[in-house]
Amino acid sequence: MSKQILVTGGTGYIGSHTVVELQNEGFDVVIVDDLSNSNIDVLDAIEKITGKRPAFEKFNLADREKTNVFFEQYKNIDAVIHFAAYKAVGESVQKPLEYYRNNLVSLMNLLENMKKHRVSNLVFSSSCTVYGQPDQLPVTESTPRKPAESPYGNTKAVSEDIMRDFSHANEGINCIALRYFNPIGAHPSALIGEFPVGVPNNLVPFITQTAAGLRDELKIFGADYDTPDGTAIRDYINVVDLAKAHVVSINRLLENKQQSSYEFFNVGTGNGYSVMQLVKTFIKVNGVDVKYQITDRRAGDIEKIWADTTLANEELGWEAEKTLEETLESAWAWEKKVRNIK
């Protein structure tokens, strides 16, 4: 009998790509999502890609009662992948309480029910924001965490602490936190991709929407950083590569291969690209124009960060495979499909 995986936030950007990879590997998937930053139509796209429609329940996991009822109904869950969270850095600076309440309470409700219903395995969507602005690059898993630059980043750090403490206190609960760098791109089918509700908070949807004519120009936040071209540097990872890291992590837990009850891994490419490099690469590979304007730095942004992925490569047997060029091609193919651009 195939294993059942609960994917919270499974209609979202990274969640939907992970559901596809899980179903392609033969897992049964049930999604919980409140659709606050995603669209129900994603289920149709997942079914079109994989030939299978995941089960779906709509509610917010910060609602303790609804979470309890869900776990009473779904009694065969073998593992959980937890994506569901608010994730806009800038908004979190403006609305810290909303971020703390949603992101932390949902995790605690999940863990409480995992213990009660003997669900042993959790893969958590963490972030390289826990490193703050690191003193040395690239960052390894032994790089010290720093005080977060935003409430969003802090919810990821506190969530990691909650999982570490909970798994140590409760034998049989095993957690893996994946510290993502910057996920970009779309599924090669162009049936799913990054489709933010409202104004995008991430760079690539801003680029693609500007190229598509939805936005007049792209704002580049800061060109006075201590980097070769003055713009901030990030490690951009293809979303399908990232999704596959979750499948590998789930298998590690189900096969009891973890080294301890709480593990964490950097999931990136190991390469740093500046914002300007990304924009120029997008323009070059897709042959489209993107108008941009340099503006002030944005609150909560760090100057530069990229990953050392040795631990994930060796321990998980996973590595990023797709190039920046093909990733940016996939992002534009997705945007064109969504906007009916020939």
Which residues are identified as catalytic?
Answer: 152
Residue type, 313: N
Separation CA 241–CA 276 (nearest Å): 23
Query: Alpha-carbon Rg of the chain, whole angstroms?
Result: 19
Query: Which segments within the chain are labelled E, that is strand?
Result: 4-8, 28-32, 55-57, 77-82, 121-127, 174-180, 182-184, 218-221, 233-234, 236-238, 262-267, 273-274, 292-295
Neighbouring residues of 178: CB distance < 8 A, sequence distance ≥ 6: 123, 124, 125, 126, 242, 245, 246, 249, 264, 265, 267
For residue 10 the two structure tokens come to 């499974």
SS3 label, residue 209: helix
Distance CA 137, CA 121 (A): 31
Question: Is 218 within 8 Å of 166 (Cβ atoms)?
Answer: no
DSSP assignment of 149-162 = SSHHHHHHHHHHHH
> Can you read off the two tokens belonging to residue 30?
């049930």
